[in-house]
């Protein structure tokens, strides 16, 4: 398996030039941090060292060895415990967490770049702090002052980890079917039930694990209106923060998975004996709302996994293509053979990987910027405007980027040729690991249903039209610029705007929910391709300006060419999807059940 080197130069370009670091740094909440491009560069360089030197070397060995379960619980793969200690000793776990609870309080924009690195280097490892961050966010927003004081400092430091316990065998995407019971007993509850697919549900990296668990109280109404959220520690926590006795919760077994072998996916039993002691978060029967705090955090970061695995697969394919000698250049029948990066079809694949990675990175980081402004802008009107943008972009980041992650990892196998189909090169692992990202934390279909069936209708398309207006402004700016590259990008972006406008208006005008849901994934992918084209167009405009002043010509010329490739080879996919959105719903639903 090839080494991983974080693309810090590209990350810095996106943060500074596309995501608007200055605007985020100017928020009052970040005044004491004195956030600057120099600070970002220092953070990225240190994170890159940890990713390359500590996490990435464990990726293949963890895949081979996997996690194990024994009488004492789950044992992670060799090296993970030491890597985790280095991770938390460096303060990385609390990078974006609130200062008042021991975090560093840096913007989500900066945290997002480090999250990309952790997932590129070692996706199995990164899942542990990722789930912890979701639990932290839920307690921050919905927990009592006492719960925050008791749990957050150690979860933010990484001394303890957190999990999400939602899914049951009969309750996957349909959480209304949750059956885990929570029986009140004094100042706490006793929980009885079993949860499945619990990522890092048990391990020995830390002395305690804080489970956030969905369950029903005895008098709860049916459906999602009767779900409550509970804190269930692996070890009970005394008032002074010290650990008490072991709680009645344990891992029953581990799932045997296609990928992410080093991430223990547990079946968790609550209350096999006297009941697992749990503490209500917020109010009874409001657990679904609290759960979505965790879920939205997780969905955004899973979207980053699509980008991260795409970047890792691209780096491996690029290095192999530069090293593998095979054949002569097109039209040359004699002389030395060349490395495969000289062959046009290999270039096509590498450019497809590179361009889509850059588009995904830009869209994800820009979304993180909107998250910072939504959370921290002092003007509530401005905050709500940015939250509306976050609401429509998170399903796109989650759905579109994870789907592209699979495509790019598959292309990585193809670039390797026959060697890509054997485990030796590591290309197989990237493809296997990528496959889960379109499934957990809500499948692509669920993200599409959320976008087309809920987010568009909740404001009658206002947020999407505001987004289209921004894309239109970028296109107008391009029309004023000189050069063949920008002219080509401008033409393609204009077509993308018309395509997205037409698809959006069709969805809004349709009165048939089945027809909307039938084409919702195609709509989501269309939005992704156009938004990616928008960001690549913005990058091209910046790159050309830099080239005119002679700044880093190799880097900025590559930016411009890659953006043109996206406009010519990737963005046109949106036009094909438009026809499917407008006309394809009938055939999807036409067969009877018996005809399948």
Residues 13 and 139 in one domain: yes
The string of DSSP letters for 242-261 reads -EEEEPSEEEEEE---SS-T
CA distance linking residue 304 with residue 242, whole number of Å: 35
Asked whether residue 239 is assigned to any structural domain, the reply reads: yes
Residues 166 and 53 in one domain: no
Which is it for the CA torsion 391, 392, 393, 395, positive or negative? positive
Residues 274 and 257 in one domain: yes
Which is it for the CA torsion 562, 564, 566, 569, positive or negative? negative
Among 441, 495, 505, 594, the active-site one is 441
Residues 501 and 514 in one domain: yes
pLDDT value for 201: 98
Degrees, nearest 5: CA angle 322-325-331: 100
pLDDT value for 453: 94
pLDDT value for 33: 86
pTM of the model: 0.97
Q: Single out the residue in 264, 285, 306 at which a domain terminates.
A: 285
One pLDDT digit (tens) per residue for the chain, 596 residues:
679 999 999 999 999 999 999 999 999 999 988 899 999 999 999 999 999 999 999 999 999 999 999 999 999 999 999 999 999 999 999 999 999 999 999 999 999 999 999 999 999 999 999 999 999 999 999 999 999 999 999 999 999 999 999 999 998 888 888 999 999 999 999 999 999 999 999 999 999 999 999 999 999 999 989 999 999 999 999 999 999 999 999 999 999 999 999 999 999 999 999 999 999 999 999 998 998 888 888 999 999 999 999 999 999 999 999 999 999 999 898 889 999 999 999 999 999 999 999 999 999 999 999 999 999 999 999 999 999 999 999 999 999 999 999 999 999 999 999 999 999 999 999 999 999 999 999 999 999 999 999 999 999 999 999 999 999 999 999 998 888 999 999 999 999 999 999 999 999 999 999 999 999 999 999 999 999 999 999 999 999 999 999 999 999 999 999 999 999 999 999 999 999 999 999 899 999 999 99
Structural Rg of the chain based on CA atoms = 24
Asked whether residue 324 is assigned to any structural domain, the reply reads: no
Asked whether residue 139 is assigned to any structural domain, the reply reads: yes
Residues 464 and 526 in one domain: yes
Residues 6+ apart with CB under 8 A from 340: 320, 321, 324, 325, 326, 327, 346, 415
Which is it for the CA torsion 119, 123, 128, 133, positive or negative? positive
Asked if 275 and 188 touch (Cβ cutoff 8 Å), the reply is no
Structure tokens at 526: 């269309």
Asked whether residue 520 is assigned to any structural domain, the reply reads: yes
Range of the structural domain that residue 506 is part of: 459-588
Q: Single out the residue in 94, 126, 157 at which a domain terminates.
A: 157
Half-sphere exposure of 368 (CA within 13 A, CB side): 31
Asked whether residue 386 is assigned to any structural domain, the reply reads: no
pLDDT value for 482: 80
pLDDT value for 481: 86
Asked whether residue 405 is assigned to any structural domain, the reply reads: no
Residues 33 and 127 in one domain: yes
The string of DSSP letters for 50-72 reads HIIIIITHHHHHHHHH--EEETT
CA distance linking residue 116 with residue 10, whole number of Å: 12
pLDDT value for 173: 83
Asked whether residue 266 is assigned to any structural domain, the reply reads: yes
Residues 15 and 127 in one domain: yes
Asked if 357 and 311 touch (Cβ cutoff 8 Å), the reply is yes
Q: Where does residue 199 fall: left (phi above 0), alpha (psi -120 to 50 degrees), or beta otherwise? A: beta
Q: Single out the residue in 259, 285, 311 at which a domain terminates.
A: 285
Q: Is 441 a catalytic residue?
A: yes
pLDDT value for 424: 93
Residues 82 and 180 in one domain: no
Residues 178 and 142 in one domain: no
Residues 510 and 583 in one domain: yes
pLDDT value for 294: 85
- At what angle are helices 57-65 and 123-142 packed, to 10 degrees? 90
Q: Which CATH number characterizes residue 112's domain?
A: 1.10.540.10
Residues 85 and 191 in one domain: no
| Burial class of residue 320 in the structure, from the number of CB atoms within 10 Å of its CB (0-12 exposed, 13-18 middle, 19+ buried) | buried
| Domains contained in the chain, number | 3
Q: Which CATH number characterizes residue 204's domain?
A: 2.40.110.20
Residues 153 and 166 in one domain: no
Asked whether residue 487 is assigned to any structural domain, the reply reads: yes
């Amino acid at each position: 398996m090839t080494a991983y080197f974080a693309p810090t130069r590209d990350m810095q370009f996106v943060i500074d030039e596309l995501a608007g670091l200055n605007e985020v740094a100017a928020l009052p909440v970040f005044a004491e941090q004195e956030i600057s491009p120099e600070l970002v560069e220092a953070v990225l360089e240190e994170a890159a060292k940890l990713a390359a030197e500590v996490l990435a070397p464990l990726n293949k060995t963890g895949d081979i060895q996997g996690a194990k379960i024994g009488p004492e619980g789950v044992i992670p793969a060799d090296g993970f415990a030491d890597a985790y200690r280095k991770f938390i000793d460096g303060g990385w776990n609390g990078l974006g967490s609130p200062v008042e609870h021991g975090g560093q309080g840096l913007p989500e924009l900066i945290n997002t770049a480090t999250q990309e690195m952790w997932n590129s280097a070692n996706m199995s490892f990164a899942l542990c702090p990722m789930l912890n961050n979701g639990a932290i966010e839920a307690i921050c927003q919905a927990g009592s002052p006492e719960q925050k004081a008791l749990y957050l400092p150690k979860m933010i430091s990484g001394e303890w980890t957190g999990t999400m316990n939602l899914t049951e065998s009969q309750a996957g995407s349909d959480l209304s079917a949750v059956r885990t019971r929570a029986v009140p007993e004094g100042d706490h509850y006793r929980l009885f039930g079993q949860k499945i697919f619990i990522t890092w549900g048990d391990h020995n990296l830390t002395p305690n694990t804080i489970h956030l668990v969905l369950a029903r109280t005895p008098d709860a109404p049916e459906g999602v209106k009767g779900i409550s959220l509970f804190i269930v520690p692996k070890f009970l926590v005394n008032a002074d923060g010290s650990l008490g006795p072991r709680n009645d919760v344990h891992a029953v077994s581990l799932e045997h998975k296609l990928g992410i072998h080093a991430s223990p996916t547990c079946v968790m039993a609550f209350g096999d004996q006297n009941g697992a002691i749990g503490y209500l978060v917020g109010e009874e029967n409001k657990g679904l709302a609290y759960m979505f705090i965790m879920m939205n955090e997780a969905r955004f970061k899973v979207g980053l996994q699509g980008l991260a695995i795409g970047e890792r697969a691209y780096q491996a394919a690029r290095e192999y293509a530069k090293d593998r000698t095979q054949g002569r250049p097109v039209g040359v029948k004699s002389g030395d053979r060349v490395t495969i990066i000289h062959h046009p079809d290999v270039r096509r694949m590498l450019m497809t990987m590179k361009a889509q990675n850059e588009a995904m990175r830009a869209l994800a980081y820009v979304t993180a910027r909107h998250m910072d402004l939504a959370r921290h802008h002092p003007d509530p009107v401005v905050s709500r405007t940015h939250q509306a943008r976050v609401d429509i972009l998170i399903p796109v980041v989650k759905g579109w980027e994870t789907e592209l992650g699979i495509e790019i990892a598959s292309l990585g196998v193809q670039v390797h040729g026959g060697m890509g189909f054997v485990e030796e090169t590591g290309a197989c692992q990237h493809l296997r690991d990528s496959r889960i990202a379109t499934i957990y934390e809500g499948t692509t279909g669920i993200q599409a249903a959320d976008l087309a069936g809920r987010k568009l209708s909740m404001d009658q398309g206002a947020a999407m039209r505001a987004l289209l207006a921004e894309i239109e402004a970028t296109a107008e700016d391009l029309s004023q610029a000189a050069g063949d590259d920008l002219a080509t990008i401008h033409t393609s972006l204009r077509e993308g705007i018309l395509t997205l406008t037409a698809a959006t208006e069709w969805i809004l005008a349709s009165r048939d929910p089945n027809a909307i849901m039938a084409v919702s994934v195609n709509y989501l992918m269309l939005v992704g391709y156009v938004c990616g084209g928008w960001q690549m167009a913005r990058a091209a405009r910046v790159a050309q300006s830099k080239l005119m002043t002679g700044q880093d010509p190799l880097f900025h010329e590559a930016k411009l060419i890659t953006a043109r490739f996206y406009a010519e080879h990737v963005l046109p996919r949106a036009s094909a999807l438009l026809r499917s959105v407008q006309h394809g719903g009938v055939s999807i639903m036409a067969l009877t059940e018996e005809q399948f």
